[in-house]
Amino acid sequence: MTALLDSIGYANWVLHALVWLPVLGMGLVLWAEEERAKTVAFWWSLGVLVLSLGLWFAFDPASADFQMTSSAPWIESWGVSYSLGVDGISLFMVILTTLSTSLAILGSFNYIQSRERAFYALMLLLEAGVVGVFVATDVFLFYVFFELTLVPMYFIVGIWGGERRIYAAIKFFLYTAFGSLLMLVGILYLFWRAKGLLGAPTFSYEDFLLVPLSMTEQLWLFTAFALAFSVKVPVFPLHTWLPDAHVEAPTPGSVILAAVLLKMGTYGFLRFLLPFFPAASQHPTVVTTMLVLGLVGILYTAWVAAVQPDAKKLVAYTSVAHMGFVVLGIFALTVNGLQGGLIVMISHGLSTGALFLLLGMLYERRHTRKIDDFGGLARVAPWLATAFVITALASIGLPGTSGFVGEFLALLGTFETHPTIAILATLGVIFAAYYMLPMVQKVFFNQLATDENREVEDASGRELAILAPLCALMIWIGWNPTPFLERMEPSVRAVIERVESAGAQVSASAEPQTPQSLDETVEASSTPPPRRDRRRRVDSRRRRARRD
């Protein structure tokens, strides 16, 4: 396989293709006839998926660096380049994106009845944007893609969504934009510091890593970046847009939102937040805050989910809880924690995506999402029931499913550094069973009471084609996580080492590690920011003017 990929120069062009093929597909879909749009979109996205699977083989698991990199100048006078690359953190996110996009498109064949061309065109545009987010290695380019994903999602929710779709769409948009624009100022600050340090404008990721920042700077910038990503994740208490958006979005929109858009936030944590601001990420107050927010997210949303009468809303809240585990894993700052967080990201993408698809299928049959309207469906729709149970168990984190591997590792990693929080978070797994299992029982087991429920048809071939790969992946990761973990490990270790090296500088000093001394030593160890000429000139100018 590797030889085949090498022979076609796969590594040289695949990332470009993954970003731009969906855009091309968008054009094709718009050009196609209305009734053929979905077929074109599906086969095109399937092609992109197949293409992306090669990444799995072409990726070198031993390396922590960006691979398959390529770079071309984009805006030279600003030092912006069009640079792409994948590492162990983004690899699975890319494949998850292509996979969920094609399954979501396949899952919307019946759901989307109007304005199909526009819908599938936006789905492909969204895919391009999300893949771009995960493969961009230039911070400016990353930001462009990060913002660009908002537009198609805004329209998907706003046009094809439910009753309160406009409210949900605008809320989603404004929340996310608020965070990301503050991050933009942070990016420009880093850019300005990098320009002062290196003498030439640059937005390159590697160059930003070189910028020495004082503790104060790190904390400010950390706040700006963390806000942007926390809204996206979403971290409690910034999560309120999510239930609205999830519930109002059409099924494929919810799938993409849950499976990949939320991951852009946690991906941002791993890719930018920790490496750029290692000292701030280690600051005890920061770590505690983030861990507690993750913990509250897990426990609080579990309670909220338990009382939801609307199945889709229930699943939406479980998203927040799952992402809470990711936040825990990341801010445990251990290799286990980070790897666990990454596996939860993948697992949540698969299981929540599948849950939304299943709820969409049920909605197409019964036109309701109320849990109480269902009952005993297992008898008439055994395949749907099987898929639902597997997915729900993966979502809870039953051993043998992907959810277990991820949550276990995340909790283990947290336990190594913060045992109390880990123990409390473990309750979240129990809560997950508490809200998920009754829902499964009420929908699929219990009495088959009503006529509408008796007439529910079992999964069609198309629907099985959607569900089978998802269920298979959940179980495969559950039994055999090693190929995933080994691909992540070097990159994850590199992140941890970068964070810890900032800590090592701290412990090298003779002072005991109090927050104050941390502050001072980081200040001392990083070279003082080069004061630029302009400052001095302006200052002297102002002074002179005042003297006059």
Residue with tokens 């969920």: 100
104-143 footprint of another protein as x/- string (CB under 8 A): -----------x---------------------------x
Residues near another protein (CB under 8 A), total = 42
Q: What is the CA radius of gyration of the chain?
A: 24
> Which member of 4, 185, 449, 465 binds another protein (CB under 8 A)?
185
For 84: left if phi > 0, alpha if psi spans -120 to 50, otherwise beta; the answer is beta
Instruction: Count Cβ atoms below 10 Å from residue 413 Cβ, excluding itself.
Output: 25
* Strands 67-75 vs 80-86: parallel, antiparallel or unpaired: antiparallel
Region of 449 please: left (phi>0), alpha (psi -120 to 50) or beta: alpha
Binder to another protein among 74, 363, 383, 476 (CB under 8 A)? 74
Q: Which of 28, 148, 306, 437 binds another protein (CB under 8 A)?
A: 148
Min dist CB 535 to another protein, Å, is 7
Measured at the alpha carbon of residue 531, what is the angle toward residues 525 and 532, in degrees to the nearest 5? 145
User: Contact between 544 and another protein (CB under 8 A)?
Assistant: yes
Which two three-digit tokens encode residue 138? Answer: 């230039």
How far does CA 261 lie from the centroid of its chain?
Answer: 5
Of 459, 482, 475, 337, the closest CA to residue 402 belongs to 475
Quick note: the x/- pattern for another protein over 192-231, rule CB under 8 A, is: x---------------------------------------
For residue 481, the SS3 value is coil
Q: Which residues pair with 370 in a beta bridge?
A: 310
- 536 counts as binding another protein under rule CB under 8 A: no
Of 169, 226, 228, 304, which one interacts with another protein (CB under 8 A)? Answer: 169
To another protein, the closest distance from the beta carbon of 232 in angstroms equals 15
Identity of the residue, 124 or 359, whose beta carbon is nearer to another protein in the bound complex: 124
Distance (Å, whole) CA 271 – CA 141: 14
Looking up tokens 């302009």 gives 534
For another protein, the closer of residues 37 and 421 by Cβ is 37
Distance CA 255, CA 4 (A): 33
Asked if 170 is part of the footprint of another protein (rule: CB under 8 A), the reply reads yes
Q: Is 218 exposed, middle or buried (0-12, 13-18, 19+ CB in 10 A)?
A: buried
User: Going residue by residue from 445 to 484, which x/- string records binding to another protein, judged by CB under 8 A?
Assistant: ----------------------------------------
Min dist CB 546 to another protein, Å, is 6
Task: Give the residue carrying structure tokens 């219990």.
Answer: 446
As measured in angstroms, the least distance from the Cβ of 386 to another protein is 38
Shortest separation between residue 81's beta carbon and another protein, angstroms: 12
Which residue lies nearer to another protein by CB, 191 or 236? 191
Query: CB under 8 A: which stretch of 184-192, 276-284, 356-364, 373-381 binds another protein?
Result: 184-192
Which amino acid, 530? P
Minimum distance of another protein from residue 452's CB (angstroms): 29
H or E element in which residue 67 lies: strand 67-75
Burial call 246-270: b when 16+ CB within 10 Å, e when fewer:
bbbbbbbbbbbbbbbbbbbbbbbbb
Rounded distance between C-alpha atoms, residue 527 and residue 530, angstroms: 8
Single out the segment in contact with another protein by CB under 8 A; choices: 20-28, 68-76, 308-316, 369-377: 68-76
- The pair phi, psi for residue 74, each rounded to 5°, is -115, -60
The reply to whether 151 sits near another protein by the rule CB under 8 A is: yes
- Piece of the chain touching another protein by CB under 8 A; list 11-19, 162-170, 276-284, 390-398: 162-170
**Among 155, 208, 325, 356, which residue sits at the site for another protein (rule: CB under 8 A)?**
155
Identified binder of another protein from the candidate list 32, 159, 344, 411, rule CB under 8 A: 159
The dihedrals phi and psi of 72, each to the nearest 5 degrees, come to -145, 145
Stretch that binds another protein, among 182-190, 322-330, 332-340, 426-434 (CB under 8 A): 182-190
Query: Does 498 interact with another protein (rule: CB under 8 A)?
Result: no
The verdict on 531 binding another protein (CB under 8 A) reads no
Q: What are phi and psi of 80, to 5 degrees?
A: -90, 130
- Binding another protein by CB under 8 A: which of 144, 209, 448, 494? 144
3-state class (DSSP) for residue 75: strand
The distance of closest approach from Cβ of residue 502 to another protein in the complex, given in angstroms and rounded to an integer, is 24
Binding site for another protein (CB under 8 A): 74-78, 115, 143-145, 147-148, 151, 154-155, 158-159, 165-166, 169-170, 173-174, 177-178, 181-182, 184-185, 188-189, 191-192, 534-535, 537-538, 541-542, 544-546, 548
